[in-house]
C-alpha cells in the first residue's frame, strides 16, 4: 500500500487533545506532560537500532571519519545543536560530529521551511561539508518524507558512507535503503502535525544517546565522570578540580593546582598525579592508549568514585 501524508501517525489528530483550545492553561500543560511521559518507552523500543548506530559512529571516528546529522526545520536544528555540544563537553574535535540543515545557518534562527523541498541542495551541501566514504550520515525526518533528507541519505549510500534514518513514525513515507532505520513511533502530536513537540523530544533523546554513548565508548568518560574536560571558563575549572579531587584523593585546592599545571586538562592532571609524572610524560602515556584514561590508570577504588 502506498502511503500518503494523511496516513502518517504524526499527521493524525490526537483524541487526547480533542478540544484542547477550551482547556485551562494547567489542563493544557497536563495533557502535554502526560503525552511527553510516553516518549521514553517509545525510544526504549528502538534501543537495538540506536545501539547499532552508536557502533557505526565509533567505527567511523576511530577510522578518521566523521558523523553528519542531516535534517530540515526542527530536525535539522536539533542535529546542529547536538553536534555543537560534543566539542565543549568532551574536548572532541569540532569535525567529529557535524550538523547540516536545509537552508544553511540562517535556518537555525528563522523558518526557511521551503528549503526541505530541494533535494539537489542536499547533495551540494554534503559535498561542501566533504562527506566521503567511511563517514556516517544520519538523516533526521519525523515524517520520513523530507526530500532534502532522503536525497542526503541516497547520496550517502551512493558514495558508500554509513547511513541511518531517524524518523518518528512506524515507517517512513519515503523508504530509503539505509543501513539502519530508527523508527520511534511517538503517536499523534498534541497539536496535529506539530512535530516540534513529541517528535522533537524523541529526536533530542535519540541524538543525545548516539553522541554520548559514542564518546563514552571512545574513552571520553571514566566511570561516569567527564574526564576529557578542558578548562575554558570558571565553571569548568571548578568541575575539573572536583573531578580530580574525587579520583585522586587530593584536596580541592591541590587538585586545582594540578589542573593548572596540566594546562587545564583533567585527564593529564589525573595521570600526572597518579603516575607521578610530569605533564609531557602524562600526555605521552595517554597518547600510547589513544587517550583512554582507564588504559593508563586501570581501575581505581570505587570508594573514591
Cell digits of residue 304: 573514591
Q: Give the span between the Cα atoms of 241 and 43, in whole angstroms.
A: 35
Report residue 117's pLDDT band, with 50, 70 and 90 as the boundaries: confident
Is 109 part of the annotated catalytic residue set? no
113 is catalytic: no
pTM over 0.75? The answer is yes
Q: Which of 52-56, 143-147, 275-279 has the lowest mean pLDDT?
A: 143-147
Pairing of strands 97-101, 136-140: unpaired
The closest of 152, 150, 194, 148 to 174, measured between CA atoms, is 150
Say which of 11, 85, 128, 253 is annotated catalytic.
Answer: 85
Q: How would residue 246 be classed by pLDDT, with cut points 50, 70 and 90? A: very high
User: What would you report as the CA-atom Rg of the chain, rounded to the nearest whole angstrom?
Assistant: 22
Percent helix / strand / coil, the chain, rounded to 5: 55, 10, 35
Q: Which domains are seen in the chain, by residue range? A: 5-218 (3.40.50.10490), 234-297 (1.10.8.1080)
- Position 231 confidence tier, pLDDT thresholds 50, 70, 90: confident
pLDDT of residue 199: 94
Catalytic residue among 11, 49, 113, 116: 116
pLDDT at 120 over 80: yes
SS3 101: strand
Amino acid at each position: 500500500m502506498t502511503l500518503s501524508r494523511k496516513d502518517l501517525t504524526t499527521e493524525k489528530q490526537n483524541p487526547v487533545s480533542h478540544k484542547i483550545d477550551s482547556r485551562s492553561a494547567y489542563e493544557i500543560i497536563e495533557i502535554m506532560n502526560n503525552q511527553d511521559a510516553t516518549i521514553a518507552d517509545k525510544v526504549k523500543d528502538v534501543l537495538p537500532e540506536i545501539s547499532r548506530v552508536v557502533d557505526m559512529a565509533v567505527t567511523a571516528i576511530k577510522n578518521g571519519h566523521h558523523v553528519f546529522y542531516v535534517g530540515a526545520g526542527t530536525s535539522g536544528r536539533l542535529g546542529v545543536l547536538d553536534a555543537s555540544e560534543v566539542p565543549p563537553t568532551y574536548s572532541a574535535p569540532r569535525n567529529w560530529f557535524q550538523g547540516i540543515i536545509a537552508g544553511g545557518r540562517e535556518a537555525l534562527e528563522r523558518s526557511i521551511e521551503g528549503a526541505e523541498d530541494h533535494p539537489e541542495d542536499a547533495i551540494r551541501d554534503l559535498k561542501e561539508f566533504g562527506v566521503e566514504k567511511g563517514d556516517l550520515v544520519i538523516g533526521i525526518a519525523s515524517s520520513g518524507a523530507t526530500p532534502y533528507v532522503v536525497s542526503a541519505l541516497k547520496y550517502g549510500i551512493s558514495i558508500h558512507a554509513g547511513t541511518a534514518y531517524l524518523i518518528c513514525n512506524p515507517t517512513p513515507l519515503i523508504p530509503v535503503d539505509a543501513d539502519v532505520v530508527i523508527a520511534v513511533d511517538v503517536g499523534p502530536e498534541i497539536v496535529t502535525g506539530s512535530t516540534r513537540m513529541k517528535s522533537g523530544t524523541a529526536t533530542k533523546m535519540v541524538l543525545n544517546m548516539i553522541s554520548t554513548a559514542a564518546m563514552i565508548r571512545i574513552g571520553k568518560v571514566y566511570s561516569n565522570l567527564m574526564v576529557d574536560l578542558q578548562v575554558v571558563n570558571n565553571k569548568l575549572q571548578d568541575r575539573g578540580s572536583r573531578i580530580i579531587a574525587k579520583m585522586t584523593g587530593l584536596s580541592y585546592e591541590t587538585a586545582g593546582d594540578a589542573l593548572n599545571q596540566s594546562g587545564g586538562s583533567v585527564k593529564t592532571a589525573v595521570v600526572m598525579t597518579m603516575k607521578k609524572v610530569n605533564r609531557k610524560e602524562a600526555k605521552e602515556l595517554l597518547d600510547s592508549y589513544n587517550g583512554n584514561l582507564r588504559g593508563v590508570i586501570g581501575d581505581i577504588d570505587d570508594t573514591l568514585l
